[in-house]
Structure 1
Protein backbone atom coordinates (compact mmCIF):
# COMPACT_ATOMS: atom_id res chain seq x y z
CA UNK A 1 0.00 0.00 0.00
CA UNK A 2 1.42 3.36 -0.99
CA UNK A 3 1.50 6.48 1.17
CA UNK A 4 -1.12 8.08 -1.07
CA UNK A 5 -3.47 5.11 -0.73
CA UNK A 6 -3.08 5.18 3.04
CA UNK A 7 -3.93 8.88 3.12
CA UNK A 8 -6.95 8.31 0.89
CA UNK A 9 -8.25 5.51 3.12
CA UNK A 10 -7.70 7.70 6.19
CA UNK A 11 -9.64 10.51 4.54
CA UNK A 12 -12.50 8.15 3.65
CA UNK A 13 -12.66 6.95 7.25
CA UNK A 14 -12.71 10.56 8.51
CA UNK A 15 -15.52 11.47 6.12
CA UNK A 16 -17.46 8.40 7.21
CA UNK A 17 -17.16 9.32 10.90
CA UNK A 18 -17.94 13.01 10.31
CA UNK A 19 -21.74 12.79 10.68
CA UNK A 20 -21.31 11.00 14.02
CA UNK A 21 -18.95 13.70 15.26
CA UNK A 22 -21.34 16.45 14.19
CA UNK A 23 -24.26 14.73 15.88
CA UNK A 24 -22.24 14.20 19.04
CA UNK A 25 -21.19 17.86 19.07
CA UNK A 26 -24.80 18.99 18.63
CA UNK A 27 -25.86 16.71 21.47
CA UNK A 28 -23.12 18.21 23.66
CA UNK A 29 -24.29 21.74 22.82
CA UNK A 30 -27.88 20.81 23.71
CA UNK A 31 -26.71 19.28 26.97
CA UNK A 32 -24.56 22.31 27.83
CA UNK A 33 -27.47 24.65 27.05
CA UNK A 34 -29.75 22.60 29.27
CA UNK A 35 -27.18 22.61 32.08
CA UNK A 36 -26.73 26.37 31.74
CA UNK A 37 -30.49 26.96 31.92
CA UNK A 38 -30.82 24.57 34.86
CA UNK A 39 -28.08 26.40 36.78
CA UNK A 40 -29.71 29.80 36.14
CA UNK A 41 -33.06 28.70 37.55
Structure 2
Protein backbone atom coordinates (compact mmCIF):
# COMPACT_ATOMS: atom_id res chain seq x y z
CA UNK A 1 0.00 0.00 0.00
CA UNK A 2 2.79 2.39 0.91
CA UNK A 3 4.59 1.87 -2.38
CA UNK A 4 1.44 2.65 -4.35
CA UNK A 5 0.79 5.83 -2.40
CA UNK A 6 4.34 7.08 -2.77
CA UNK A 7 4.34 6.27 -6.49
CA UNK A 8 1.21 8.32 -7.11
CA UNK A 9 2.52 11.18 -5.00
CA UNK A 10 5.72 11.31 -7.03
CA UNK A 11 3.81 11.24 -10.31
CA UNK A 12 1.46 13.98 -9.12
CA UNK A 13 4.38 16.16 -8.05
CA UNK A 14 6.33 15.50 -11.24
CA UNK A 15 3.35 15.92 -13.57
CA UNK A 16 1.63 18.76 -11.75
CA UNK A 17 0.93 20.55 -15.02
CA UNK A 18 -0.42 17.44 -16.74
CA UNK A 19 -3.89 17.08 -15.28
CA UNK A 20 -4.74 14.28 -17.72
CA UNK A 21 -1.64 12.31 -16.77
CA UNK A 22 -2.50 12.81 -13.11
CA UNK A 23 -5.89 11.09 -13.40
CA UNK A 24 -4.44 8.30 -15.53
CA UNK A 25 -1.83 7.44 -12.90
CA UNK A 26 -4.23 8.00 -10.01
CA UNK A 27 -6.83 5.53 -11.32
CA UNK A 28 -4.63 2.41 -11.60
CA UNK A 29 -2.75 3.16 -8.39
CA UNK A 30 -5.89 3.46 -6.27
CA UNK A 31 -7.13 -0.15 -6.70
CA UNK A 32 -3.60 -1.56 -6.90
CA UNK A 33 -2.08 0.35 -3.99
CA UNK A 34 -5.14 0.67 -1.78
CA UNK A 35 -7.62 3.55 -1.63
CA UNK A 36 -7.19 3.92 2.14
CA UNK A 37 -3.51 4.70 1.88
CA UNK A 38 -4.07 7.08 -0.98
CA UNK A 39 -6.67 9.10 0.90
CA UNK A 40 -4.38 9.44 3.88
CA UNK A 41 -1.55 10.71 1.71
Which of the two has greater helix per residue?
Answer: 1
Task: Give TM-score scaled by structure 1 length.
Answer: 0.38
Greater RCO structure (CA 8 Å; 6+ sep): 2
Task: Give TM-score scaled by structure 2 length.
Answer: 0.38
